[in-house]
Homo-oligomer: A and B are copies of this chain.
Amino acid sequence: MNQAHCLSFIEQPFPSKLNPKIQSLFGSLKQNSFALLESTPQPFQTTTSKRLAVCFSGGPAPGGHNVIVAIAKLCENHHNLFGVMGGFGGLIKGQLKPLTLTDCESYYNIGGFDLLKTDRTKLTKQAHYDAIKQVVKQHQLDAIIIIGGDDSQTNAIFLADALAELSCSVIGVPKTIDGDLRYPPYLPISFGFYSACDVYIELINNLIRDTQSIQKYWHFVKLMGRTSGHITHYVGTKTKADLFFLGEYLAKDSMTLSDLVKHIGDFILKSTHNKKPYGVICIPEGLLEWLPDIKQLINGLHLDPAIGDSAMAFSSLSATNKTILQQFPAYIQNQLLLERDAHGNIQLSRLETERLLIDLVKHYLAEQDPNFSFHGIPHFYGYEGRCTHPNSFDANFCTQLGHIAGSLALNGYTGYMAGIDPTHNPNQAYGIPIAQLLTHETRNNNTVVVVKKTTVLN
C-alpha cells in the first residue's frame, strides 16, 4: 500500500459523442466533466489541504472498506477525510465524522460496509440537494466520493451538477456484486462481483458434489444480481451446473414461462432416463422480468395497482393477463397482486422464482408421468456473498479504485467515476465521465435518465 502519492490526469476526447439532450441536463458542469481522464506518470502536487467526504450507497459489496482505507492513506497528514454515516440518507442529515487512517485501517480486507453503514436513499427531491448543499457548506467540503452502483452513480452525477456552484466535486467508485456496471476497457467490472461469485461457486460446487454422492434431488438455485444475468452466467459456467438460464437469452428466444418449465421438465425426464436423476439448476434473481408473458403481466399490474385488494386488482387485469396470472400457485399470485415497495413497484426480487419453478416443473412432470419421482430443493444465494471478505482480485482492485477516486477528488475533477483494468493495464488509471454513461430508460411507465446497466448481451 505505497500509494500515498496523488495521481495526475490528462484529458482525452471520450470515444463516443454525448447526447446533447443529456448534456443539457448538466448546465453547471464544465466541459472537462465530459472528457476521458487518463492518469500520467507524473504525480499531482497539491499544496492546499482539502476536505473530502466518503459515502457508501446501496447494498454492500466485498472490498468497500479497502476503497476507504486507500482514500484515507492518500489523505494522511495532508487532507481531512470525513466518513458519511448511513449512505445518502446520512449525507442529507449531515451525519459526518472525521476519519483517519488509524480509524479505518483495521477494516482493510474485511467484508461489509459496517465501518460507515449504508442505505438505499435516492436523491429524488430538490430538498435532498438543498440539504446536502448545507452540509457541504457547514463542513467546507471540497469533494464527496460516492461508493455505489448504477443508481448511486446517477445520483452522483446530478449531485455533481448541483454542487458545482460550491466548487465541491463529486466522484464515484463503481460498486456492485451484480456486475452490471462495467465499461471496458476503462473498467472491466465493478468491485465485489468476483468475491461474491466465489462464495456462490463454492456453495454450488458443494451442492453438485452432494447430488453426485447421494444421486437424488434437483437443487434450484436463485442467484442475486437483479435484472442482468452476469452472476448466473459466471457462476453457471464456472461450476458446471446442469442447467443455468439467462433472461437475456430467454427474451431473445421469446420464451414464455411455460416454455421454460417444459424445457426444464424435459431435461429432467431425459437426464433421469439416462440414469442421472439429480442435478443443480441456476437462475438469476431477475429471470421473470425477461419472459414476454410475465413482462406483459407486470406492465398490466403496474398500470392499475389496486394495492391491498387482490380481487379488485385481479378483476382490473386483461383477459390474457388473468390467464397468465392463474398459472401461478396462490402464494405467487398474492405476492404479485398485493405486495409493492414504497414506490408502488412490484418487488420482483422478492418473488420466490426458485420455488415457483419447482412447483411448476413438478406439475409438468406429473402430467407427463404420474409416477415420476421428483424432489426439488430451493435455494437463494445472495446476502451470503455480498458481505464476504474481498478475494485477492477485489482487495487489490478496491485499493486501486480508492486511490484513483481520491486522486480525482484532490485534482478537483467532478462528475467522474474511477476506472482501471487491474488485470490487463494495472498502471493506467481512468476518470470515466459519468454523464457519458447515462441513457434514457423506462421505469414504471416513466422515462428517466440513468446510468446504463449492462446485461449479458450488451
Contact = CB atoms under 8 A, between A and B. Distances in A.
Interface stretch (A107-115, A362-370, A439-447, A448-456): A107-115
Contact of A215 (B117, B203, B209, B388): B117
Contact of A112 (B117, B119, B209, B331): B209
A199 B206 contact: yes
Contacts of A113: 213-214
Contacts of A300: none
A323 interface: no
A59 interface: yes
A213 B383 contact: no
A386 B210 contact: yes
A295 to B, nearest CB: 26
Contacts of A384: 203, 206-207, 379
A404 B163 CA distance: 73
A56 B215 CA distance: 13
A377 interface: yes
A398 to B, nearest CB: 15
Contact of A59 (B214, B385, B386): B214
A355 to B, nearest CB: 10
B377 A214 contact: no
A213 B117 contact: yes
A219 interface: yes
A74 B385 CA distance: 41
Given A86-B215, A203-B384, A215-B86, A210 B117 contact: no
Interface residues of A, number: 33
B387 A383 contact: no
Contacts of A214: 59-60, 113, 117-119
Nearest to A219: B383
Contact of A210 (B112, B202, B377): B112
Secondary structure at chain A's binding surface: helix, strand, loop or mixed? mixed
A383 B206 contact: yes
A113 B211 CA distance: 10
Contacts of A203: 199, 384
Interface in A260-292: none
B377 A112 contact: no
A326 interface: no
Nearest to A61: B213
Interface string A317-343: 000000000000001000000000000
A212 interface: yes
Nearest to A62: B206
Nearest to A196: B206
B114 A209 contact: yes
A212 B112 contact: yes
Given A117-B215, A215-B86, A383 B210 contact: yes
A171 B118 CA distance: 56
B385 A60 contact: no
Nearest to A210: B387
A84 to B, nearest CB: 14
A60 B180 CA distance: 37
16 contacts: A59-B214, A60-B209, A60-B213, A86-B215, A111-B209, A113-B213, A114-B212, A117-B214, A203-B384, A206-B384, A206-B387, A210-B383, A210-B386, A213-B387, A331-B331, A379-B384
